[in-house]
Amino acid sequence: MNLGQYYRYFKAVHKRNLEWGQVRHIMVQICSAVGYLHQRNIIHRDLKPENVMLNPLTLQVKIIDFGFSKVHTAHCTGYMVTRWYRPLEIVLGLPYDHKVDVFALGSIFLELIHGQELFRSDSNNDQLHQLLTICGYPEPLSKEHKALEKLQIVSRNTNQLQFYTRDLSDSTRGLLTLMLSNSPEKRPNVDQVLHSLA
Q: Give how far the C-alpha of residue 133 lies from the chain's centroid of Cα atoms, to the nearest Å.
A: 16
What residue spans of 115-169 are helical by DSSP H? 124-135, 143-150, 161-164
What residue spans of 45-142 are helical by DSSP H? 88-91, 99-114, 124-135
- Look up 46 and say whether it is catalytic: yes
CA-CA distance, 126 to 103, in Å (whole number)?
17
Cα-Cα-Cα-Cα torsion 138, 39, 53, 6, nearest 10 degrees, comes to -40
Q: Which of 46, 97, 122, 191 is catalytic?
A: 46
CA-CA distance, 46 to 188, in Å (whole number)?
19
Q: Which residues does the annotation mark as catalytic?
A: 46
